[in-house]
Amino acid sequence: MAASTRTSPSPPDEATLARYAELVVGLGANVQEGQIVEIRAAVGKRALVHALARAAYRRGATFVDVAYFDPELRRIRIAEARGKVDFAPPWSGQRVLQLGQLRSARIAASPFSTPGAFDDLDPARVAVEPFPQLPEYRQLIDDETTNWCGIACPDPEWAALVHPELEPDEALGLLWQEVLHVCRLDEDDPSAAWEERFEQLRRASAALNERRFDSIHFEGPGTELTIGLFPSSEWTGGPTETVGGIRHVPNVPTEEVFTAPDPAHADGVVTATKPFVLKTGTLVEGLVIRFEGGRAVQIDARSGGEALREYVSRVEKADRLGEVALVDREGRIGPLGTVFYNTLLDENAASHLALGSAYIDRVGDDDRGRVNRSDAHADFMVGGDDVEVTGITRGGERVPVLRGGSWQI
C-alpha cells in the first residue's frame, strides 16, 4: 500500500505522463506502424491525450484521430433539446465501423464524465442519449478488428468523488498515484511486471478450463446465486489478439479472468459489493438483483435503480448475463480499499458480472448462437473476501474456487 501512504502526492509531470502513454500505446494497444489510432477522452484530459498522441506517432502511427467528448454538451442537449435525444448523426457510427474496416488501434480514457454527472436530469432522456458509448463500438469488440486499450485518467471532479475528505489538489494527486500504482508504473519495468501478472491469470484460467464447471456459485452477504456455463465456456485473462493476430491488452489495469455464461441459466439473488456507473453516466449504489431462469426479474437499488431499470428495459437482452469474471486478491486494486466509482478500476478489484453482451470468442462455435448478444454491457461487482465462489461440476461435485479472495484451484 505504498501508494496511499506517501504524503502529498501531486499530479504526474510530463515525463510520468509520457511513461504512462508508452505503456498504454505499447503493451496496451500495441500500436503498429502505419495504423490509424483513435483516442477517446473527455475534453479536459488534453495533457494525457497529447502524451498518447506523441507516443503513437513515435511508434509509427499514420494518423491519430482524437474524439474529444464534452460532458457539458451532453448535459445541454438533454436539458435543452425540444424533442427526443436518441438521435446520432449517421457519420458518428459510420466512423466507428470504418475504424474497424481500416484495422485501427483504439485507446479510451475513462471516465468520460464524472459519475453521477447527469443524475439531476430526466433519467429517461439520460438513458437514451447515445454519446459517447455508441453501440458500434461493441461491434468492433465482437469483430476483434481493432487492437484496443481502455485506461483511466484522473481529473479533479472524479478525484473529489473518490477522495471527498481531501483538499482538491491532494485528492487529484492521490488518485493519480493510485492509478499509476495499479498500472505498475511505479515498477522499474512496468511491462515486465504485467507479463508476470498475465502468467498468473493464464494459470488461473487454465485451472478453471480444466475443470469445465457446469455452473459457478456465489455465496456471501445478500448473495446466493448460481450461474450456468456452456460446456465450451472458456476462461481467459490478460492479453488477447485481433483477427489479424495483433496481441493487445484491452484493459490496463486488468486483474480478472472471465468467460461468457449461459444466459438461460442464472438463479438466485446477488448483492453488489461496490457502487458502479452505468454507461449513461448514472451512479448505481446498493444494487440487488434477483435472477430467474437467467433473467433479471427484479432490480432494486438505494440510488440509480430507476435509471438501471430504464436502461435494462430499453436495451434488448440487457436483462441477461453476458460475463462472469473472477478476481483474486493478488491484484493491486482490491488491496487499496478505494471505491473508484469507475468500472475499469472497480471491476478489477472484485469478481463481477455483466448484464448484456458477451464476448463471443469466449465460447466454442457451437455455442456462439446461444451467448447473450445486446447493445448493453453493464459490469457490477459481486465479489469480496467474504464472498465464496464455488464451481459445480457436471457430476454435481462442489469445488472451492475462491475463498477469502484466494484461488483454491
Q: Which residues bind a copy of itself (CB under 8 A)?
A: 36, 43, 46, 49-50, 53-54, 57-58, 60-66, 68, 70, 72-73, 76-77, 80-83, 87-91, 94-95, 98, 102
Write down the least CB distance from residue 172 to a copy of itself, Å: 20
Collapse the DSSP code of 23 into the 3-class scheme (helix H, G, I; strand E, B; otherwise coil) and give the result: helix
Report the C-alpha gap between 129 and 86 in whole angstroms.
Answer: 5
Report the C-alpha gap between 283 and 153 in whole angstroms.
Answer: 18
Write down the least CB distance from residue 400 to a copy of itself, Å: 51
Q: Report the residue number, 81 or 297, with the smaller CB distance to a copy of itself.
A: 81
Write down the least CB distance from residue 104 to a copy of itself, Å: 9
Give strand ranges (E) for 128-194.
147-152
Write down the least CB distance from residue 116 to a copy of itself, Å: 20
Write down the least CB distance from residue 111 to a copy of itself, Å: 18
Cell of 226: 448460481
Q: Report the residue number, 135 or 335, with the smaller CB distance to a copy of itself.
A: 135
Report the C-alpha gap between 35 and 47 in whole angstroms.
Answer: 22
**CB-CB contact of 264 with 294 (8 Å):** yes
Q: Residue length, the chain?
A: 409
Give 94's Cβ-side CA count (13 Å radius): 3
Cell of 6: 506517501
Q: Report the residue number, 32 or 342, with the smaller CB distance to a copy of itself.
A: 32
Q: Report the residue number, 53 or 360, with the smaller CB distance to a copy of itself.
A: 53
Write down the least CB distance from residue 120 to a copy of itself, Å: 17
Write down the least CB distance from residue 48 to a copy of itself, Å: 12
Cell of 286: 446498493
Q: Report the residue number, 56 or 127, with the smaller CB distance to a copy of itself.
A: 56
User: What does the angle CA 32 – CA 35 – CA 37 come to, to the nearest 5 degrees?
Assistant: 105
Cell of 100: 474497424
Cell of 212: 469445465
Collapse the DSSP code of 321 into the 3-class scheme (helix H, G, I; strand E, B; otherwise coil) and give the result: strand
If one counts every other C-beta atom within 10 angstroms of the C-beta of residue 56, the result is 26
Write down the least CB distance from residue 130 to a copy of itself, Å: 10
Q: Report the residue number, 88 or 339, with the smaller CB distance to a copy of itself.
A: 88
Q: Report the residue number, 127 or 363, with the smaller CB distance to a copy of itself.
A: 127
Q: Between 14-23 and 190-211, two packed helices, what is the crossing angle to 10 degrees?
A: 30
346 sits in which H/E element: helix 343-346
Write down the least CB distance from residue 80 to a copy of itself, Å: 4
List b or e across 313-329, with b for residues whose CB sees 16 or more CB atoms inside 10 angstroms: eebebbbbbbbbbbbbb
Q: Between 90-101 and 136-143, two packed helices, what is the crossing angle to 10 degrees?
A: 10
Collapse the DSSP code of 322 into the 3-class scheme (helix H, G, I; strand E, B; otherwise coil) and give the result: strand
Q: Report the residue number, 73 or 243, with the smaller CB distance to a copy of itself.
A: 73
Q: Report the residue number, 71 or 220, with the smaller CB distance to a copy of itself.
A: 71
**CB-CB contact of 235 with 186 (8 Å):** no
